[in-house]
Amino acid sequence: MAPAQPVSSRGIQTRLLIISDTHGLQLPVEIKTPVDVAIHCGDLTQHSRLDEFRAAVQLIEGINAPLKIVIAGNHDFSLDIPVLERKISEAVNLSSEPIDDALVKREYGDYGAAREFLQQQRKKDIVFLDEGTHRFNLRNGARLHLYASPYTPTNISSSDWGFQYNGVHDFGITEAIDVAVTHGPPHGVLDLSENKKRIGCPQLFAAVAKAQPRIHCFGHAHDGWGAKLVAWRTVISDAPSHFTDIDNDKSRVIENMASFKGSNFESPQERKAREERIAAHRERGYCETSHFGDQSTFVEGRKTLFINAAVMGQERLDRLPWIVDIELPSSV
């Protein structure tokens, strides 16, 4: 049962749980905190097998939320049917021995089986979204306008994966959107790769900068995990970039990999405070941020909270999901 939500003069208090990149694994800590909406930003699986989708649904079922929203990621290529067809065709052409159709069906099902499986989960309040704008009237009385997109550019990973584009992609995020949910990060914000390169999409950043949704959540760049509250410049450039259109003096990092690791320059007191903060996060199984009562946070859409919720570390789910409290308009 979701928590009762008070109504303020600004809207209805709404709690979101945001997670990404679980890759068919289970979280090490059960999250018992009730939320209004759970959002999974893709890479439900590692190899896009049916058993991994079942494991992902098991994880999502365990979240205490009346609505659970799921999008695909590049690893979930069997949801991108043309890609699955191409991969199987290439495997057949390259193999020196006949491919066992029964084995393929056992691993991936018929074409469209994974997509059908996820669509069947609506009876469990798990809603799989394709790219586009979606509207939800939440059980707490709030209205949520959400944009979803699983697409990432081919230049940030192999072209053998699903939901990728080469060249131009139209991210149709409008000013009416409260929460943008994408698999990939925008260029310049929480998008660092393991080798410290920025792998986010410039086109996605431009779309977010122009629309300025309340929240933009994503994954894909595992080492970019964290949260950052970004303040926008008064006038957005014709070709927005993180260099010109973010007001860094008014922006702040809430948490990221660097703040978790600390530095060689922190005092013993700072190290103790950091370790206690991290221990508390890990004990409850998530990080959280709340903006209730902070009148400067989302003034006239001038700030966006970016969340990279990729929980996959090097070999296991050792990074934390996020719980975020926001206020949404009433659905009435």
Q: How do residues 125-143 score in pLDDT, each as one tens digit?
A: 999 999 999 999 999 999 9
Residue 149 has pLDDT above 50, yes or no: yes
The domain spanning residue 278 has which CATH number? Answer: 3.60.21.10
Q: How many structural domains compose the chain?
A: 1
Judge whether 143 and 136 are in contact, CB under 8 Å: yes
Residue 222 has pLDDT above 90, yes or no: yes
75 located within any domain: yes
* Predicted pLDDT of residue 293: 39
Identify the residue whose tokens are 């996020």: 322
pLDDT confidence bin for 2, thresholds 50/70/90 = very low
Residue 332 has pLDDT above 90, yes or no: no
- pLDDT tens for 57-71 read 999 999 999 999 999
287 phi and psi angles, rounded to 5 deg: -100, 160
151 located within any domain: yes
The H or E element containing residue 144 is: strand 143-149
Q: What does the mean pLDDT of the chain come to? A: 90
H helices of the chain, where?
A: 50-61, 81-94, 101-108, 113-119, 202-211, 257-261, 268-284
292 located within any domain: yes
Using DSSP, state whether 90 is helix, strand or coil. helix
6 located within any domain: no
4 located within any domain: no
* Predicted pLDDT of residue 11: 87
pLDDT confidence bin for 315, thresholds 50/70/90 = confident
25 located within any domain: yes
Structural domain boundaries enclosing 310: 12-328
